[in-house]
């Protein structure tokens, strides 16, 4: 499945990380929208055609896990990747139990994230 025109939403409070993700996804032909908080994503009206949501765990108010729960409560089933620089035992398993498609501890290679997003998009296209 082609990645062109597919939208990735990223929730990350660190501006330089948001910019790096933007370069990565734009280079791969993915449409990209960045938000500095979970609340900003939830209040956005431009969430149609989402291929994947990527969220940091620690955000200014609502956490990435809280965002995942809220999206699922709203019936949104886009694949969700939780990322964090604060990995603790059991956190990845908890994220998966709550409905995340994947969990990545920082630091990780951009190619690892891109491969994961590609895989999720391809899996979504088969269903």
pLDDT at 60: 92
In this structure, is residue 80 part of a structural domain?
Answer: yes
Mean per-residue pLDDT of the chain:
90
What tens digit of pLDDT does each residue of 26-46 get? 998 889 999 999 999 999 987
Domain count, the chain: 1
127 burial type by CB count under 10 A (0-12 exposed, 13-18 middle, 19+ buried): exposed
In a domain, residue 95? The reply is yes
Q: Side-chain half-sphere of 121: how many Cα atoms within 13 Å?
A: 24
Contact between 21 and 33 under an 8 Å Cβ cutoff? The reply is no
* In the chain, % of residues over pLDDT 70: 92
pLDDT value at 121 more than 90: no
Secondary structure element (H or E) that encloses residue 34, with its range: strand 31-35
Identify whether 49 is part of a domain. no
Q: Is 1 contained in some domain?
A: no
For the cut 90, the answer to whether the pLDDT of residue 2 exceeds it is: no
CATH of the domain at 98: 3.40.50.2300
Query: Is residue 127 one of the residues assigned to a domain?
Result: no
Residue 71 lies in a domain: yes
- What integer pLDDT is reported at residue 127 of this predicted model? 44
Range of the domain at 114: 7-44+55-122
Most distant pair of Cα atoms in the chain: their distance: 37
Model confidence at 1, pLDDT cuts 50, 70, 90, reads very low
The whole-number pLDDT of residue 29 equals 87
């Amino acid at each position: 499945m082609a990645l062109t025109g597919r939208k990735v939403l990223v929730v990350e409070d660190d501006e330089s990380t948001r910019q790096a993700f933007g370069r990565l996804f734009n280079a791969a032909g993915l449409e990209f929208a960045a938000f500095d908080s979970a609340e900003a994503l939830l209040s956005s009206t431009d969430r149609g055609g989402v291929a994947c949501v990527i969220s940091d765990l620690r955000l200014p108010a609502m956490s990435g896990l809280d965002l995942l729960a809220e999206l699922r409560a709203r019936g949104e089933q886009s694949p969700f990747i939780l990322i964090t620089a604060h990995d603790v035992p059991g956190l990845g398993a908890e994220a998966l139990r709550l409905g995340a498609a994947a969990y990545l501890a920082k630091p990780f290679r951009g190619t690892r994230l891109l491969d994961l997003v590609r895989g999720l998009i391809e899996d979504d296209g088969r269903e």
